Structure 1
Amino acid sequence: MIMKKVKNYAVIFTAFTLLAACNPLGKMAKNYGMINYNLNPNPVEMHADSIEITINGKFPANYFHKKAFVEITPVLKYPAGSEVTTTKELKKITFRGEATDGEGNMVKYSGGGFNYSDKIAYGKDMEGATLELRATGKFKTSEKVFDDVKIGDGTIITPLLVKGDDKPIAAKDKFIKVKPKSFNADIHYLVSSHSVRSNELRQDDIKALKEFVKNGSEDGLVFKGVKVSAYASPDGEVAMNENLATDRANSASKALVKIFKKAKVEAASAEGFYNNTGKGEDWDGFRKSVKASDIEDKDLIIRVLEMTSDVNKREQEIKNMAKTYLVLANKILPQLRRSQITINAEEKSLSDEEIKNLAATAPDSLEVEELFYAATLTEDMNEKLKIYQTFSKQFPNDWRGPNNIGYIYMMQNKLNNAKGEFSKAMNISSESAIVKNNMGVVTRLMGDKVKAWELYESAMSAGPEVAYNMGIINIMNGDYSSAVSNLSGSNSFNEALANLLNGNAAEAINIIDASDEKTSAMGYYLKSICGARQKSIDMIVSNLKNAIDKDGTLSGKAKRDAEFISYREDPKFKELTQ
């Protein structure tokens, strides 16, 4: 009986021994480390809210049994708390030996390569993730779990450094502190005369001129000067007409002196106040007047005169024609014998102090642009808000009121309030590019990049702020070349970041050094990353030290940051991040 049991055990042992000898999984598991895996990039990188994982692998010769299967699953492991580890399985890939059928990539016994890629959404805490490959071998009915192989450590999340400093736009006032004012009038003369007739001073335009001077003097208008340009009709001798035009300018000026003196305008007595110019014969005026007339032969008249190059002969031709065409003598030529008068003045606005006081005490006494301008006279955001709210009540059809109320709310980080005001502004002016930009900003900050982009595309005329805002979305979407273009010239942290992400670390450094972020903690931190990309430990350490001096929390961030994974054991780096 005992001998029989011994024989049975021997048979069973022999069977297991033969089975083990025929099962290749043990050998494959033992040599699993001989498989070459190349993770690219390594560490993996987050772009556009995703991590793309690309693995190139190669099985060595004499490794893959002809009848075996191997199922490999890439797994991300990352901390989700102090004592908890989260795992994220990627898509599996199956390999089979050359003597098998079914699904999977066939691997010859002589060896072979493979390519693998997958993309997953980036999740919180994945910065500290490791990438492992978990493999299970199968042979007939047997299975064996191979040892895990770590092929990646950490995730580069540098795109998340993008600053959400989207730029809303405040509408500007059209307030003018100094409004130019001018008045034009003519004094006409009899043929060959420079005397100013009393009835000329009773003409409607001269009456209006006197009223302009009188009212201007009473209302505080600042008179800057008078320009008098005088002419003679082209039907007299050239030399005489030159002198006559000058005399007419002087006579008109003397008449104006009396008008200004009566209105008690002191500025009119200053030297150089009157600028008198004799223009001679007004041949161009004559030609234009004839062309504009209803004379049947006007084209013939102009052609004959233009063909007459001799000035004296041309004057005689005009005299002769004036006898034939009475409209020349009675209407056209008399209108050319004149002094053209232009009075230049400036209307001063209320002073800033006056506007500021009235905005607080009697806003309804201010004109639309004065009240809107008043908000620029204070740096206090609450005071600005109050003025814009008053403006919006007084001028409910002006989109600038709710737009700028929304702008102030944006500065105060009250997004819901801002959105409500921008909606009001858009209802008043649906095509305002400024309002569309602002609605895009608040929409983006509330999480809708797609809608924000649509609004920006229709707001390009609002200003460079729109391109900047689009550049932020470009970075978030992983479109770094477009981000470089849209952020170009802003000399900002985000422009530097876009260049770094687009592969130009040197230009990123130049931009930071020319920006307001040059000496900020994050400016230094970004330059330390540039140093890592350029493989310069000195640049890393010097900039990281400055960054940590300004913000101590960056020491821990740098310790976790996969940008510095190759330098974690460097003594200088460790000293800064311990």
Structure 2
Amino acid sequence: MKKLNSLFKTVAVIMLLMAPMVFQAKNHDVGGMAKHIDKVYISATPEILEVKGNTITVTINAEFPRRYFSKKAVMNITPVLIYEDGETELPSMNFIGEKVNGDGVVVSKKYGGTYSYTMTIPYDDEMYNSLLIVEPLVYRFKEVVHPNRQKIKDNAEFAMANSFLVAEGVINTAQRIDKSALKTAYATPETKQEHIVTDAGDIFFRVNSDAINWSVPLNKDMKNKTAVNALMAHIMQGWNIDDIEVVGWASPEGSMKYNKDLSNKRAKMTEDFLKKRLASLSAQKNIKVSYKNVNDIHFVTKGNGADWDGLMKAIENSNIKDKQVILNTLKKQTAEQRVAQLNKYIKQYPEFENTILPSLRRTVINVNTIEPTMTDEQITKACTNNPQSLSCDQMMYAATLVKELKNKEMIYLTAIETYPNQAEPYCNAGAVAIEKGNTKHAKQLLRQAIEIDDLLAEAYNNLGVVAIIEDDYKSAEAMFKQAKKLGVNTDYNDGVVSINKGDYNKAVKLMTKNNPNCDYNVALAQTLDKKYTIAEETVKCLEEDGKTLYLHAVIASRTKDVEKSIKHLAKAIKKDYKMKNIAKHDMEFAYLQDNPDFIAIVE
């Protein structure tokens, strides 16, 4: 590498010395131009390439002396990036003489000229240790200007001039993101403290009646009958009752006042019925309930009047042929007009009286009980000995009580087995898999989480983290966008995406918004943004390991502090021996290639 650096410097000096000269050769033809290519100054900016936004951008500069360029000549300049296992041909540029008719930049024979063009190519890791060579091809114009050098070689008699070494190596510091610092997100369980469990059931009534009659067809329906019985069974668990909500409804064909009164009566009648049933339960010695006196139970009882919303939904779900016309008509009318119109429809369509209206004459009952609290110790013990006795939230909470990843993973996997239709355990097991380095398994778990609940923000965030680990930044950005939309803070992870895109200032702002400044990726972005003083302050607060010391050496190198750069580089290699070979080929230290102290620590 040192030899290549020496060659690069020699070529650069020769080119700088030769550029101002006026071409005096007698042979102005193609062969003469190729022979005297040393009179042309071709260079690259920058002379050491650098990755930014996962791409390399380089400007090729060409300076032609006076009386050099033949009026009938074409010169193709093609930069080629050469590396150990191959090469990449960059976009070429054609320079043409004054009598050439075709695509290209015209160069005056009398005055010469200075020209440049810029190109951007995707970066590949193979390009890290590379040379950028410019290979001029010169030919005499006949009928066409060929677009690239392959066409020239296939179709023209050409002269190949000596190559120019214009750039050496690629700085890829922007690729050194610490992916382990990415922020995984865990779905948060409800607190182990008071957890309200709700059971619901409906009681149905005959038209214009507030009397509870179990012979009403909908009350005899097995599904509805089971739900009402389950209310009592729930209370018989002995859990404390938070409250019981009773909401009365009426079908809308009557007047507003009548329906309001009727719904209130139905609600009150249902409350009285429930109190009698609950009182009889508490009187039985073999049944455990949480109350002594039924009047200690808090009832929230109200009548909501006519259930127009329920009516509209019932019509929409019905088999009435003209249901869309009916819906549109009712939506446009005033309250009084709607009642009159509904009564017309009732006479016209038997479905109203047979199925739709009976389903609206009801009370809705919600029994809200408080799930008993458990101590952390009890939850942990139950999670080990009898996990099926815990709710999904309790198992999720149990996982927060343990520190070791393998124990967390075991709890989440048990929760998945016990509650296979809950998305949160899959999400959190995926987060643990990421932290354990098993991204393939993490991806499977997280995709399962989203299949169950496509609104689970944490799962999208974690899939974004997996995508970055797999170097798929485009997918990561989309995942973080969705996660943020659903409520997860993705600022830090978005900042890492911004580093990859080459927007370093934005990266710093995002990563420090809700995160301490003392962070490796923050220091990296500050370095790439050329904020070296701030970057050094940031890196100083970090724990000294191989990567942080290496970054400190890079900062010192960029600020031309040779002593500090070599000192931190030596410490980095001592902490992590892999840094030795990286530093040996890293163009961040190009100007140290001949420094004996640098050579001593990398050889």
Query: TM-score normalised to the size of structure 1?
Result: 0.61
1:331-375: CA deviations, max 9, x gaps?
Answer: xxxxxxxxxxxxxxxx99644333322221123344554433222
1:357-416: CA deviations, max 9, x gaps?
Answer: 222112334455443322233333332222223333444554322221222222233333
Q: Give me the whole-angstrom Cα distance separating, in 2, the residues matched to 1:169 and 1:151.
A: 47
Asked whether 1:108 is paired with 2:132, we answer no
Asked whether 1:162 is paired with 2:187, we answer no
Alpha carbons 1:76, 1:88 under 8 Å: kept: yes
Q: Specify whether residues 416 and 573 from structure 1 end up closer, same or farther in structure 2 by C-alpha distance, changes over 3 A only.
A: closer
Q: Give me the whole-angstrom Cα distance separating, in 1, the residues matched to 2:492 and 2:379.
A: 35
Q: CA deviation at 1:438?
A: 1.8
Q: Give me the whole-angstrom Cα distance separating, in 2, the residues matched to 1:463 and 1:509.
A: 34
Matched with 1:353 is 377
Matched with 1:532 is 557
Matched with 2:269 is none
Alpha carbons 2:28, 2:68 under 8 Å: kept: no
Q: CA deviation at 1:108?
A: 1.2
1:451-489: CA deviations, max 9, x gaps?
Answer: 321221132277886212112222222222221222124
Matched with 1:88 is 88
Matched with 2:413 is 389
Amino acid at match of 2:500: M
Matched with 1:62 is 67
Q: CA deviation at 1:429?
A: 3.2
Selected match of 1:436 from 445, 460, 470: 460
Q: Give me the whole-angstrom Cα distance separating, in 2, the residues matched to 1:124 and 1:449.
A: 16
Q: Give me the whole-angstrom Cα distance separating, in 1, the residues matched to 2:373 and 2:188.
A: 18
Q: Give me the whole-angstrom Cα distance separating, in 2, the residues matched to 1:371 and 1:87.
A: 56
Q: Give me the whole-angstrom Cα distance separating, in 2, the residues matched to 1:391 and 1:123.
A: 43
1:169-195: CA deviations, max 9, x gaps?
Answer: 12233335799xxxxxxxxxxxxxxxx
Selected match of 2:530 from 492, 503, 507: 503
Matched with 1:40 is 45
Matched with 1:72 is 77
Amino acid at match of 1:400: E
Alpha carbons 2:46, 2:167 under 8 Å: kept: no
Asked whether 1:28 is paired with 2:44, we answer no
Matched with 2:596 is 571
Aligned positions of 1:143-542 closer than 5 A = 143-165=158-180, 166-176=182-192, 350-366=374-390, 368-396=392-420, 398-460=422-484, 466-488=490-512, 489=516, 491-515=518-542, 518-542=543-567
Alpha carbons 2:457, 2:488 under 8 Å: kept: no
Matched with 2:350 is none
Asked whether 1:543 is paired with 2:544, we answer no
Q: CA deviation at 1:439?
A: 2.6
Q: Specify whether residues 175 and 112 from structure 1 end up closer, same or farther in structure 2 by C-alpha distance, changes over 3 A only.
A: same
Q: CA deviation at 1:568?
A: 0.8
Alpha carbons 1:500, 1:508 under 8 Å: kept: yes
* Range that drifts further, 347-356 or 25-34: 347-356
Q: Specify whether residues 483 and 361 from structure 1 end up closer, same or farther in structure 2 by C-alpha distance, changes over 3 A only.
A: same
Matched with 1:340 is none
Q: Report the secondary structure of 1:458's partner residue.
A: helix
Q: Specify whether residues 565 and 443 from structure 1 end up closer, same or farther in structure 2 by C-alpha distance, changes over 3 A only.
A: closer
Q: Specify whether residues 554 and 448 from structure 1 end up closer, same or farther in structure 2 by C-alpha distance, changes over 3 A only.
A: closer
Higher Rg of the two aligned structures: 1
Amino acid at match of 2:601: L
Q: Give me the whole-angstrom Cα distance separating, in 2, the residues matched to 1:498 and 1:22.
A: 54
Q: Give me the whole-angstrom Cα distance separating, in 2, the residues matched to 1:26 and 1:369.
A: 82
Q: Specify whether residues 70 and 528 from structure 1 end up closer, same or farther in structure 2 by C-alpha distance, changes over 3 A only.
A: same
Q: Give me the whole-angstrom Cα distance separating, in 2, the residues matched to 1:464 and 1:526.
A: 31
Q: Report the secondary structure of 2:88's partner residue.
A: strand
Alpha carbons 2:138, 2:159 under 8 Å: kept: yes
Q: Give me the whole-angstrom Cα distance separating, in 1, the residues matched to 2:469 and 2:578.
A: 25
Q: CA deviation at 1:422?
A: 2.0
Q: Give me the whole-angstrom Cα distance separating, in 2, the residues matched to 1:157 and 1:46.
A: 5
Alpha carbons 1:500, 1:530 under 8 Å: kept: yes
Q: Report the secondary structure of 2:179's partner residue.
A: coil
Q: Specify whether residues 40 and 389 from structure 1 end up closer, same or farther in structure 2 by C-alpha distance, changes over 3 A only.
A: same
Q: CA deviation at 1:445?
A: 3.4
1:266-293: CA deviations, max 9, x gaps?
Answer: xxxxxxxxxxxxxxxxxxxxxxxxxxxx
Q: Give me the whole-angstrom Cα distance separating, in 2, the residues matched to 1:139 and 1:443.
A: 52
Alpha carbons 1:66, 1:97 under 8 Å: kept: yes
Identity of aligned residues (%): 28
Q: Specify whether residues 519 and 465 from structure 1 end up closer, same or farther in structure 2 by C-alpha distance, changes over 3 A only.
A: farther
Tell me how many residue pairs correspond in the alignment. 387
Matched with 1:212 is none
Q: Give me the whole-angstrom Cα distance separating, in 1, the residues matched to 2:440 and 2:176.
A: 25
Alpha carbons 1:76, 1:131 under 8 Å: kept: yes
Q: Specify whether residues 403 and 22 from structure 1 end up closer, same or farther in structure 2 by C-alpha distance, changes over 3 A only.
A: closer
Q: Give me the whole-angstrom Cα distance separating, in 1, the residues matched to 2:522 and 2:552.
A: 13
Structure 1 segments of 4 or more deviating over 6 A? Answer: 461-464
Q: CA deviation at 1:553?
A: 2.1
Q: Give me the whole-angstrom Cα distance separating, in 1, the residues matched to 2:89 and 2:559.
A: 33
Q: CA deviation at 1:43?
A: 0.5
Q: Specify whether residues 433 and 64 from structure 1 end up closer, same or farther in structure 2 by C-alpha distance, changes over 3 A only.
A: same
Matched with 1:261 is none
Alpha carbons 1:169, 1:465 under 8 Å: kept: no
Q: Give me the whole-angstrom Cα distance separating, in 2, the residues matched to 1:464 and 1:570.
A: 50
Matched with 1:125 is 126
1:230-254: CA deviations, max 9, x gaps?
Answer: xxxxxxxxxxxxxxxxxxxxxxxxx
Alpha carbons 1:548, 1:555 under 8 Å: kept: yes
Q: Give me the whole-angstrom Cα distance separating, in 2, the residues matched to 1:404 and 1:462.
A: 17
* Range that drifts further, 532-541 or 521-530: 532-541
Matched with 2:586 is 561
Q: Give me the whole-angstrom Cα distance separating, in 2, the residues matched to 1:21 and 1:368.
A: 90
